[in-house]
């Protein structure tokens, strides 16, 4: 990065003023006292939120009764084992697998894509769906784009599917759709999530109105918040106000970036290409309508329909015993925190991850490993 020379004239205190942070923390203290329960649990579903919360030690500023949990906000982490197996099987069959970087190390039933690469498979790490199409244009070999991410990222996949890709390009979709999993984790035994903090940039595409139905059905308020420390604290204040008053609405605290209707052009492309189907999210549960798969109209671009994918040969290897102690699923469901995992920071580290939550920069375990999660007061 070149040194930044731009003088924007906006004080950084606008985002990180300690005085404002203390005032917001005091407001949270007062709201928790007014709510008057031993524990109030709220959940966010965004790796960037957790990075800010952990890095700035926000949990040390929160009232003791306020429990801020990271839910399943890491798309790489929730990619299920059979989905990785499909990609590994295609790679071992000689297809070029193009995918986002973190996906390479996510464990399958016996191997990751990195393992397949070590065995000679061709895995291309890229930054954008558009690069996968370019890769296909430059070769006669089959290029399978192993596509991960929530709806925000699925929009990019939809755009390339609609832009007439070459015949040797296909999509193996592991895209996930966030609203249905919020419904599942909110109702899991052991969870009593009373409010959600929703991620700002994702909502820039979907609009805050995407949550209206959820709030109506589940009577759990949602606040859309930015990812800076003060944005998050202000979002929590608004959320606790809604909880205290029993007001079941969606509030947008990130109007700089998010509107109620979102980006309609992006949504139109998303839903023209994808439909929702039920499927497992790694370690969490079967999530009805939680997976995004290509519609029939695009079957010719769907790797699952173009190729016979035989994943059974990958099951001949016994899974590593360490993975059986991994509690990523409970962590992503908000039932456990990383420090409860016997492997955390010992057998499982960012350099040698056992579970998917230690692979991605958006995974709870990797974030807590970097910054500490719940520092002692």
| Residues forming the site for another protein (CB under 8 A) | 1-2, 4, 6, 8-10, 12, 14-16, 46-48, 51-52, 55, 75-76, 100-102, 104-105, 112, 114-115, 117-118, 125-131, 149-150, 152-153, 155-156, 158-159, 162-163, 199, 201-202, 204-205, 227-228, 256-257, 263-266, 269, 351, 360-362, 366-367, 370-371
Cα→Cα distances 376→12, 57, 364, 373, Å: 28, 10, 18, 9
* 230 vs 327, beta carbon nearer another protein: 230
DSSP E strand stretches across the chain: 40-44, 66-70, 96-100, 123-126, 143-147, 169-173, 193-199, 222-225, 250-252, 274-281, 285-294
* 9 vs 246, beta carbon nearer another protein: 9
* Contact status, residue 363 vs residue 79, Cβ threshold 8 Å: no
* 170 vs 269, beta carbon nearer another protein: 269
In angstroms, give the least distance from the CB of 145 to another protein: 12
In angstroms, give the least distance from the CB of 114 to another protein: 4
Phi, psi of 38 (to 5 degrees): -65, -40
* 58 vs 243, beta carbon nearer another protein: 58
* Contact status, residue 373 vs residue 367, Cβ threshold 8 Å: yes
Gap between the Cα atoms of 68 and 363, Å rounded: 16
In angstroms, give the least distance from the CB of 37 to another protein: 31
**What strands lie across the sheet with 222-225, from one edge to the other?**
66-70, 40-44, 193-199, 222-225, 250-252
**Among candidates 249, 191, 166, which has minimal Cα distance to 71?**
191
In angstroms, give the least distance from the CB of 153 to another protein: 6
**What's the longest Cα–Cα distance across the chain?**
66
In angstroms, give the least distance from the CB of 77 to another protein: 11
* 47 vs 279, beta carbon nearer another protein: 47
* 49 vs 306, beta carbon nearer another protein: 49
* First-to-last C-alpha distance (Å) of the chain: 36
* 117 vs 306, beta carbon nearer another protein: 117
In angstroms, give the least distance from the CB of 240 to another protein: 24
In angstroms, give the least distance from the CB of 349 to another protein: 12
**Among candidates 182, 196, 193, 181, which has minimal Cα distance to 235?**
196
């Amino acid at each position: 990065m070149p040194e930044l020379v731009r003088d924007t004239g906006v004080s950084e205190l606008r985002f990180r003023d300690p005085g404002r942070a203390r005032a917001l923390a005091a407001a949270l203290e007062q709201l928790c006292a007014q709510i008057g329960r031993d524990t109030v649990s709220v959940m966010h579903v965004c790796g960037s939120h957790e990075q800010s919360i952990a890095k700035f030690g926000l949990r040390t500023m929160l009232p003791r009764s306020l429990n801020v949990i990271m839910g399943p906000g890491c798309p790489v982490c929730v990619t299920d084992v059979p989905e990785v197996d499909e990609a590994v099987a295609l790679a071992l069959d000689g297809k070029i697998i193009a995918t986002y970087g973190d996906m390479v190390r996510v464990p399958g039933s016996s191997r990751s894509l990195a393992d397949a690469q070590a065995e000679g498979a061709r895995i291309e790490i890229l930054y954008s769906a558009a690069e996968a199409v370019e890769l296909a244009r430059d070769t006669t070999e089959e290029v399978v784009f192993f596509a991960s991410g929530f709806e925000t990222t699925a929009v990019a996949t939809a755009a390339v599917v609609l832009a007439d890709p070459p015949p040797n390009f296909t999509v193996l979709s592991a895209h996930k759709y966030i609203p249905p999993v919020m419904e599942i984790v909110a109702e899991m035994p052991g969870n009593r999530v009373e409010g959600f903090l929703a991620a700002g940039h994702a909502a820039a595409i979907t609009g805050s109105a995407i949550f209206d139905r959820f709030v109506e059905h589940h009577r759990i308020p949602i606040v859309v918040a930015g990812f800076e420390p003060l944005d998050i604290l202000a979002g929590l204040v608004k959320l606790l106000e809604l909880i205290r008053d029993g007001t079941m609405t969606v509030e947008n605290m990130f109007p700089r970036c998010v509107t109620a209707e979102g980006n309609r052009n992006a949504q139109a492309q998303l839903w023209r290409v994808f439909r929702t189907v039920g499927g497992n999210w790694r370690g969490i549960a079967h999530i009805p309508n939680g997976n995004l798969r290509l519609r029939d109209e695009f079957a010719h671009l769907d790797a699952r329909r173009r190729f016979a994918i035989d994943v059974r040969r990958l099951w001949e290897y016994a899974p590593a015993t360490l993975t059986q102690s991994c509690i990523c699923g409970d962590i992503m469901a908000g039932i456990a925190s990383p420090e409860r995992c016997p492997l955390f920071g010992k057998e499982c580290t960012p350099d040698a991850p056992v579970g998917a939550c230690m692979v991605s920069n958006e995974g709870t375990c990797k974030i807590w490993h970097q910054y500490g999660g719940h520092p002692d007061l």
